[in-house]
Amino acid sequence: MNEAAPDHPAKRPKIDTSAFLGHKGLEQFVPANSKTLFDILQLPTLFLTKDPSSCDDDEMFQEALKTVKCLAVVNDRAERGVALIQEFNKRLTKKEDELQFLLQIVCEHRHQFPDCRKSTLLAAS
């Protein structure tokens, strides 16, 4: 195994970015308003100017990473919700016409009872 000594770090490979970027740089993947996310979450941005290999030792980066890891991914939750509903629908009935009838009943019920307040339930009686 040919590892680099600590006083002689391994060199980064040269990659011809024009093969996949054309004449544009990596900045084409980062819109101008990307800094807004850092502003909204009140995250430091100074670490963005440093070499990525030093991020593990950078306190500001670690702070931002901790905050970002705690964020809920909305799309992931939505996809899980859709999958849950689809699985639930398959357990109710396998016949499409019965499923459509059931969905119509649920829709009608939601119009009749738009919320779960006691006053709404009593008014419908």
pLDDT for 79-91, tens place per residue? 888 888 888 888 8
Are 60 and 80 found together in one domain?
Answer: no
| Predicted pLDDT of residue 108 | 92
The answer to whether 51 and 70 have CB atoms below 8 angstroms apart is no
Is 4's pLDDT higher than 70? no
For the residues 18-31, what does the mean pLDDT come to? Answer: 70
Rounded Cα distance between 125 and 120, Å, is 9
DSSP state of 125: -
Are 56 and 22 found together in one domain?
Answer: yes
Are 63 and 50 found together in one domain?
Answer: yes
Is 3's pLDDT higher than 60? no
Rounded Cα distance between 11 and 13, Å, is 6
DSSP state of 95: -
Are 116 and 96 found together in one domain?
Answer: yes
Are 50 and 80 found together in one domain?
Answer: no
Q: Which of 54, 69, 84 is the last residue of a domain?
A: 69
CA geometry: angle 30, 33, 36, nearest 5 deg:
115
Is 2's pLDDT higher than 60? no
- The verdict on residue 92 lying in a domain is yes
- The verdict on residue 47 lying in a domain is yes
Are 102 and 60 found together in one domain?
Answer: no
Are 64 and 36 found together in one domain?
Answer: yes
- The verdict on residue 100 lying in a domain is yes
Which two structure tokens, joined as six digits, stand for 121? 């339930």
- The verdict on residue 116 lying in a domain is yes
The answer to whether 55 and 61 have CB atoms below 8 angstroms apart is yes
Domain count, the chain: 2
Are 22 and 64 found together in one domain?
Answer: yes
Instruction: Give percent of the chain with pLDDT exceeding 70.
Output: 85
Is 13's pLDDT higher than 70? yes
| Predicted pLDDT of residue 6 | 60
pLDDT digits (tens, 9 = 90+) for 50-84: 888 888 889 989 989 999 898 887 787 888 888 88
Range of the domain at 82: 74-120
Which two structure tokens, joined as six digits, stand for 16? 């011809």
Is 1's pLDDT higher than 60? no
The answer to whether 45 and 35 have CB atoms below 8 angstroms apart is yes
Of 48 and 3, the structure prediction assigns the larger pLDDT to: 48
Are 59 and 92 found together in one domain?
Answer: no
Are 27 and 53 found together in one domain?
Answer: yes
